[in-house]
């Protein structure tokens, strides 16, 4: 069987968090105005999800509470990430009743790719019937509405979901390479296509390309000159081609050489207050490095200010040592912060990154390091990590975690940067 003979689904739970909250309350998300947002973050709090009913009234997903028209009456519910994870696990449980896990790739908490090629004859259903079968199972068991893109490769399944299925009353869309060319070559905006970012759109616009037809007809030499090796992906996708299989995704080993963390603060922070948060982030980040048994020789710090009042400031430093110990990394991070951060503009975002990640066996220090003290700190930090595993991250806290500006105690109960909920 060739790759063109395969059938893939890309199934997405519609406005997942909002739909879960509606399901928990016995409400129909298509008839209910509901927003998932953390009100404690103020009127500019980001909406993690809005119900389909609100979308139908022109409210954009991932808006802020202040963006919602005052004329629309709606309920606000706090995020409950643990609940959403439980729902996602239950939905995955529905899939594996009928599909081997090797043929499923979970793309995100609310979206999955499934290779159903071998299951259509098994269940004696065509590609549309089996998609409806799975969608109905999710709706019956979890009361969550879903949409399915169907394609002859993974890319076309994703595009069928993102563009084609939205226009279908059955909440399903299908694309093969010919249908893609016939129906979507002239589709705009080009950013509707998976993998086309705003930056890519702007670079394409400079050479007069605004749709997939333009990419397909452009000189490949020109595209490679502008995009380098990434031009190959652009060209293949312009023709609806995709060589990657689910088995390739599962076999992929990440070559990432960095670890990063960031957070949006709940209010405006002063320079000194934000420094407390930075200290906590470095400490927490170093614990993560130790958990992964890796070290770093490069640290980066960036700071975002209140609602565009100042451009982002950032800096980085290559250390003379390779370590995961916070006592060694923190001075570098604080030095970057002191030198690059605006001291008068209120701060709303902080991010850190550890680059040059390598295995802990390559740990190294300078001649002035006290090796006995290093070993003591490593044992102490390892013990703390073990306590965290057994009793939770708030079992041991530093004194700074009790400062008013501290965020660590609260964030220790978060999942993915959001409240876990009850």
Residue 166 DSSP one-character state = G
From residue 366, give the alpha-carbon distance in Å to each of 164, 182, 283, 320, 374.
59, 63, 21, 7, 12
| Common-topology check for domains 16-80 and 185-250 | no
Which residues, 6+ apart, have CB-to-CB distance to 161 below 8 Å? 10, 11, 12, 111, 147, 148, 149, 173
- The fold of 16-80 is MutS, DNA mismatch repair protein, domain I (3.40.1170)
Residue 163 DSSP one-character state = I
CA dihedral 325, 331, 337, 339 (to 10 degrees): -150
pLDDT the model gives residue 214: 97
Q: Kindly state the average pLDDT of the residues 54-78.
A: 91
Q: Check residues 302 and 391 and name the one with the higher pLDDT.
A: 302
SS3 414: strand
Half-sphere exposure of 418 (CA within 13 A, CB side): 22
Distance between CA atoms of 134 and 164, rounded to whole angstroms? Answer: 19
Q: Kindly state the average pLDDT of the residues 75-95.
A: 94
Q: What is the pLDDT of residues 253-292, one digit of tens each?
A: 766 678 899 998 888 999 999 999 999 999 999 999 999 9
Distance between CA atoms of 180 and 165, rounded to whole angstroms? Answer: 13
pLDDT the model gives residue 22: 96
Q: What is the pLDDT of residues 177-210, one digit of tens each?
A: 999 999 999 999 999 999 899 999 999 999 999 9
Q: Tell me which H or E stretch contains 238.
A: helix 231-238
* Residue 362 reports pLDDT greater than 50: yes
What's the pLDDT band for 420 if we cut at 50, 70, 90? Answer: low
* Residue 391 reports pLDDT greater than 90: no
State the average pLDDT for the chain: 91
In this structure, of 129-138, 292-301, 351-360, 412-421, the range with the lowest mean pLDDT score is 412-421
What's the pLDDT band for 237 if we cut at 50, 70, 90? Answer: very high
Rounded to 5°, angle at Cα 251 from 246 and 257: 120
pLDDT the model gives residue 38: 87
Return the percent helix, strand and coil in the chain, to nearest 5: 45, 20, 30
Q: Check residues 144 and 414 and name the one with the higher pLDDT.
A: 144
Q: Which residue from 206, 266, 208, 304 is spatially nearest to 414, judged by alpha carbons?
A: 266
In this structure, of 39-53, 69-83, 310-324, the range with the lowest mean pLDDT score is 39-53
Peptide bond into 218 cis (omega under 30): no
Residue 275 DSSP one-character state = H
Q: Kindly state the average pLDDT of the residues 358-379.
A: 84
Q: What is the pLDDT of residues 129-169, one digit of tens each?
A: 999 999 999 999 999 999 999 999 999 999 999 999 988 88
Beta bridge partners of residue 323, listed in sequence order: 296
E-strand ranges in 19-102 read 34-37, 47-50, 75-77
pLDDT the model gives residue 103: 97
What's the pLDDT band for 40 if we cut at 50, 70, 90? Answer: confident
Q: Tell me which H or E stretch contains 370.
A: none
* Residue 338 reports pLDDT greater than 90: yes
Q: Which CATH superfamily is domain 259-419 in?
A: DNA polymerase, Y-family, little finger domain (3.30.1490.100)
User: 95 and 119 in contact (C-beta within 8 Å)?
Assistant: no
Domain layout of the chain by residue ranges: 16-80, 185-250, 259-419
Q: Check residues 398 and 106 and name the one with the higher pLDDT.
A: 106
* Percent residues over pLDDT 90 in the chain: 71
pLDDT the model gives residue 417: 55
pLDDT the model gives residue 346: 95
CATH code linked to domain 185-250: 1.10.150.20
pLDDT the model gives residue 1: 47
């Amino acid at each position: 069987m060739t790759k063109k003979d395969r059938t893939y689904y890309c199934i997405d739970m519609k406005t997942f968090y909002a739909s879960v909250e509606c399901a928990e309350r016995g409400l129909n998300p298509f008839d209910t105005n509901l927003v998932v947002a953390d009100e404690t973050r103020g009127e500019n709090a980001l909406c993690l999800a809005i119900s389909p009913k609100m979308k139908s009234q022109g409210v954009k997903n991932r808006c802020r509470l202040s963006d919602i028209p005052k004329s629309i009456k709606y309920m606000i519910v706090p995020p409950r990430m643990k609940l959403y994870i439980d729902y996602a696990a239950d939905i995955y449980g529905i899939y594996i009743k009928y599909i081997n896990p090797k043929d499923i790739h979970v793309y995100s908490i609310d979206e999955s790719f499934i290779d159903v090629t071998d299951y259509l004859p098994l269940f004696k259903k065509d590609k549309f019937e089996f998609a409806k079968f799975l969608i109905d199972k999710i709706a019956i068991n979890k009361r969550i509405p879903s949409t399915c893109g169907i394609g002859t490769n993974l890319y076309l399944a994703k595009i069928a979901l993102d563009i084609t299925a939205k226009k279908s009353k059955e909440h399903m869309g299908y694309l093969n390479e010919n249908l893609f060319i016939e129906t979507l070559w002239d589709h705009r905006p080009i950013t509707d296509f998976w993998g086309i970012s705003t930056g890519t759109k702007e670079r394409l616009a400079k050479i007069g390309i605004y749709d997939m037809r333009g990419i397909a007809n452009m000189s490949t030499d020109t595209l490679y000159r502008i995009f380098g090796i990434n031009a190959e992906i652009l060209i293949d996708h312009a023709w609806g081609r995709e060589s990657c299989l689910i088995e390739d995704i599962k076999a992929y080993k990440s070559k990432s050489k960095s670890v990063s963390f960031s957070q949006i603060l709940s209010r405006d922070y002063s320079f000194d207050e934000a420094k407390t948060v930075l200290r906590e982030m470095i400490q927490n980040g170093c614990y993560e490095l130790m958990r992964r048994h890796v070290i770093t020789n490069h640290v980066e710090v960036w700071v975002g200010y209140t609602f565009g009042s100042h451009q982002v400031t950032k800096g980085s430093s290559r250390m003379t040592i390779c370590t995961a110990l916070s006592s060694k990394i923190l001075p570098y991070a604080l030095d970057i912060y002191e030198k690059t951060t605006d001291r008068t503009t209120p701060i709303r975002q902080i991010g850190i990154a550890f680059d040059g990640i390598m295995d802990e066996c390559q740990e190294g220090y300078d001649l002035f390091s006290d090796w006995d003290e290093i070993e003591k700190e490593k044992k102490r930090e390892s013990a703390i990590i073990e306590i965290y595993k057994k009793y939770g991250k708030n079992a041991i806290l530093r004194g700074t975690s009790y400062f008013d500006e501290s965020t660590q105690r609260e964030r220790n109960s978060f999942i993915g940067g959001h409240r876990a909920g009850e």
